Amino acid sequence: MATPIVWWTEPWNTGAPVDVAGAWNVWQPVALIAVTTAFLIVSLSYMLGVFFNLDGLRKWAKAEFYQACASAVLVVFLLFMMDVMVNQGFQTMIGGMNPYKRAYAYLDGVMESLYAVYTNVYTVNFPLEFLTTFSFYFNAAGLDFSPFELVLSPVVEQLHFQAHVVTMAAITTAAQRALLHLFYNVGFSLFIPAGVLLRIFPWTRGAGGLLIAIGIGLSIVYPVMFTYVSLMSENPSEVKNQANQLGNSIGNFNLSDYGACASDFQTATDVATQRVLSPQLRNASAWILGWLSGIWLKIFYYPMLVLIVTFTFIRTIAPLLGADITDIGQGIIQIL
């Protein structure tokens, strides 16, 4: 029998997501103070260079002045970007939804479709597998006879396969949703504020630029790419209708039918031939098999494509923010 699984329409993150705007508001004054401190250090260094006639210190102060200006522009840009993300901006451009809501809607739609398919497959498989266990004893011949096992086993095994694929797909989709929720919580509220602070000082500028690039990629590029992926997904209601046709094909098989089948060979034969082998059940099962053959595109290939685009963006923009990924990678390797 198809093994029942613990199903959830909401994963472990049942609570409200982190308040991104509130988290950034805590770091906003810290970032501004850090930028002001950078200008103060540059000014003092330049004055000391002029006072003691230290040409190297003056050149260093001039170079750091441009870096401080870049940090100030970056902070202003991030403040503007935060306002766009948490207020109107993207929500207006994509039909009143921010990109994260669109990404959640895509994954939730896939999960709803999988849930509908699994429940109906399980509903149909239960009476079918029950019939395959029937064994009739013939006194005259002195042997047991299982008439339905040979006929129904191919259908039962097909339903087992469908339940297995749906279970694996549900686990993968739940993992994708958990990953999306993780990015939502740590993108703006962790990587970008920490990156702004590290970007201020020359010794940590590379790490800060990398954190900012990661924050922008995870907070903007990753969910926005899901808006394009969602355009290639069908309406979950269509999948539910087809799955319900499979569940209805068994004709509301109930406990009284079990007793009738167990006591009357003719009743069991009618159920096996008229309900189980009906065109409605075969057509609905064939449609679900076709849909499951393409489910891996929705839960693996498309999300993997989104991750590839996101990390390509991070790798491209990180050098513009002062991060040398090659040096950072070599440093990590040396530490390990």
Give the integer Cα–Cα distance in Å for 195 and 329.
Answer: 17
Q: Are 152 and 1 in contact (CB under 8 A)?
A: no
Long-range contacts of 16-25 (CB under 8 A, 24+ apart): 17/100, 17/181, 17/184, 17/185, 18/184, 18/185, 18/189, 20/82, 20/85, 20/86, 20/184, 20/187, 20/188, 20/189, 21/82, 21/86, 23/188, 23/189, 23/193, 24/82, 24/188, 24/189, 24/192, 24/193
End-to-end CA gap in the chain: 49
Q: Are 128 and 152 in contact (CB under 8 A)?
A: yes
Q: Are 114 and 169 in contact (CB under 8 A)?
A: yes
pLDDT of residue 84: 65
DSSP result, 62-86:
HHHHHHHHHHHHHHHHHHHHHHHHH
pLDDT in tens, 47-96: 988 888 888 888 888 888 888 888 888 877 777 766 666 555 455 554 55
Q: Are 162 and 128 in contact (CB under 8 A)?
A: no
Give the integer Cα–Cα distance in Å for 145 and 139.
Answer: 11
Q: Are 200 and 208 in contact (CB under 8 A)?
A: yes
Give the integer Cα–Cα distance in Å for 139 and 334.
Answer: 80
pLDDT of residue 168: 92
Q: pTM for the full model?
A: 0.71
- In the block, residue with structure tokens 């009738």: 260
pLDDT of residue 285: 80
pLDDT in tens, 113-134: 899 899 888 888 877 787 777 7
- In the block, residue with structure tokens 């949703």: 177
Low-confidence ranges of the chain (pLDDT < 70): 1-27, 81-98, 136-147, 234, 249-277, 324-336
Give the integer Cα–Cα distance in Å for 326 and 33.
Answer: 30
Give the integer Cα–Cα distance in Å for 136 and 263.
Answer: 10
- DSSP classification of residue 2: P
pLDDT of residue 2: 46
Give the integer Cα–Cα distance in Å for 164 and 166.
Answer: 5
Phi and psi torsions of 235, nearest 5°: -70, 130
pLDDT of residue 270: 64
pLDDT of residue 171: 92
